[in-house]
Amino acid sequence: MNTFLIPDWPAPAGIRACVTTRAGGVSVAPFDSFNLGDHVGDDPVAVAHNRHRLTHIFDVQPAWLSQVHGVVVAPANPELIVEADASWTATPGIACTAMTADCLPALFCDRAGTRVAAAHAGWRGLAAGVLEAAALSLNVAPQELLVWLGPAIGPKAFEVGAEVREVFVKDMPQAEAAFVPSINAGRFMADIYELARLRLARFGITAVYGGGFCTVTDPRFFSYRRSPNTGRFASLVWIERPSS
């Protein structure tokens, strides 16, 4: 199992991105092994080691967030952990970072390669507009943005109640197509990737890539729904430092 997944998207030169997997770290079960979450009960020394390895391999400074399923977007700052669910930067060498284990990570960049952002979107944050907020933070026209949707819970695993469907459909009627009745009465199987694409398209962003994963069924990734006592993987995007 590889330690890192490199997104397949037509990002401009100078933009780098990666997604960590479970492999290659020092955390022990049930956080084995490359857990990056410092809030899940793992040994802090192991988490610090894993984070240091990530920083060293890519020569980048991740900007970690305290994620709360909201819509706040903060400037990426490796020296300060703030309560937010998205970050942005125009500074080379600083990585906007989203930690997940079923929620949707979304990576943004502009076509000029001068700005990047990362967002963490559970269904609440997605419905509240965290992706749109991340896009707005970059202060460029929507058609100038590229988005990559990282590993999240897939449509065959994401069962939700009728109240979740109602939240999305009330705001955007076409979202009805992203919900299929479950075998369990009154519940639905939700496609979080389709919901994200619909919201981004409404905002004016159509250059959207990724979205073919399922963290619940793919053992490369941590999944809270598969095992509530688990770690977190990270999706990062950054601007490369100029060559010296």
High-pLDDT (> 70) share of the chain, %: 99
CA–CA gap between residue 87 and residue 64 (Å, rounded): 9
pLDDT at position 1, please?
65
CA distance 120 to 100: 7
pLDDT tens digits, 162-210: 999 999 999 999 999 999 999 999 999 999 999 999 999 999 999 999 9
Q: pLDDT at position 47, please?
A: 98
Number of domains in the chain: 1
**At 38, which CATH number?**
3.60.140.10
> Quick check: is 176 in a domain?
no
| Predicted pLDDT at 172 | 96
In this prediction, residue 150 carries a pLDDT of 98
Domain encompassing residue 210 = 4-152+205-239
The pLDDT score that the predictor gives to residue 242 is: 86
Residue 243: pLDDT band by 50, 70, 90 thresholds?
A: confident
Residue 183: inside a domain: no
Q: How far is residue 223's CA from residue 103's CA, in Å, rounded to a whole number?
A: 9
Q: Answer whether residue 222 is part of any domain.
A: yes
* Region of residue 53 (left: phi > 0; alpha: psi -120 to 50; beta: else): alpha
Answer yes or no: is 147 within a domain: yes
- Is residue 171 included in any domain, yes or no? no
Other residues' Cβ atoms within 10 Å of the Cβ of residue 187 = 16
Average pLDDT over residues 51-64: 96
Mean pLDDT value across residues 22-49? 97
Say if residue 88's pLDDT is above 80: yes
Whether pTM > 0.85 for this model: the answer is: yes
| 160 found inside a domain | no
pLDDT in tens, 105-125: 999 999 999 999 999 999 999
Evaluate whether residue 87 is within a structural domain: yes
In whole angstroms, what is the distance from residue 231 CA to residue 223 CA?
Answer: 8
Please identify which residue in the block is written with the tokens 């009330």.
170
191 within a domain of the structure (yes/no): no
d(CA 142, CA 205): 5
